[in-house]
């Protein structure tokens, strides 16, 4: 099964729009779509775990710390993808597409993936 994603509110909406347009076969939603805008990271992590969605966020400090605490407490997270805010939408889309094409959702469980992915091809 390929990963499905939940975009944190700090991710540029242009990236979500581009993902919907460029790779519509991959399931993307935003915290805004599910009523979690402005909610604490722990609530977002809980929602993602309940719906088996890998979180995509630019929050390198609080989200990563909350992720580790959540995994320690529950032992169950679909995963977290951290991307730099400076990353271009096309680069993000390329890396997310690559994640879906070459891996299974289980590979991201309880793990943080840092973008950009390696370009050793």
pLDDT in tens, 68-119: 999 999 999 999 999 998 899 999 999 999 999 999 999 999 999 999 987 6
- pLDDT score of 13: 87
Domain count, the chain: 1
Does any domain span residue 87?
Answer: yes
- The whole-number pLDDT of residue 120 equals 54
Residue 121 domain flag: no
- Give the tokens for residue 19: 């993902």
Segment 1-51, tens digit of pLDDT:
899 999 999 999 889 888 888 888 889 999 999 999 999 999 999 999 999
In a domain, 40, yes or no: yes
91 belongs to a structural domain: yes
Establish if 85 belongs to a structural domain. yes
Domain span including residue 11: 5-114
End-to-end C-alpha distance for the chain, whole angstroms? 24
- pTM for the model: 0.94
| Residue 60 included in any domain | yes
Q: Is residue 119 part of a domain?
A: no
The predicted structure's pLDDT at residue 51? 98
CA distances from residue 75 to 25, 49, 72, 78, 109 in whole angstroms, order as listed: 29, 10, 6, 10, 9
Which positions ≥6 away from 116 have C-beta within 8 Å?
83, 84, 87, 91, 95
pLDDT at 19: 87
Tell me how far the alpha carbon of residue 19 is from its chain's centroid.
12
Distance between CA atoms of 37 and 97, rounded to whole angstroms? 25
| Residue 53 pLDDT grade (very low, low, confident, very high; cuts 50, 70, 90) | very high
**59 assigned to some structural domain:** yes
pLDDT band (50, 70, 90) for residue 121: very low
State the CATH number of the domain containing residue 86. Answer: 3.40.50
């Amino acid at each position: 099964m390929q990963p499905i994603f939940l975009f944190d509110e700090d991710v540029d909406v242009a990236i979500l729009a581009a993902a919907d347009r460029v790779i519509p076969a991959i399931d993307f939603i935003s915290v805004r779509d599910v009523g979690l805008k402005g909610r604490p990271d722990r609530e977002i992590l809980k929602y993602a775990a309940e719906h088996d969605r890998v979180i995509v966020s630019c929050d390198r400090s609080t989200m990563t710390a909350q992720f580790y605490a959540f995994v320690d407490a529950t032992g169950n997270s679909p995963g977290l993808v951290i991307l730099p805010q400076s990353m271009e939408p096309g680069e993000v889309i390329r890396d997310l597409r690559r994640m879906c094409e070459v891996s299974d959702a289980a590979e991201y469980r309880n793990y943080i993936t840092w973008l950009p992915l390696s370009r050793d091809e």
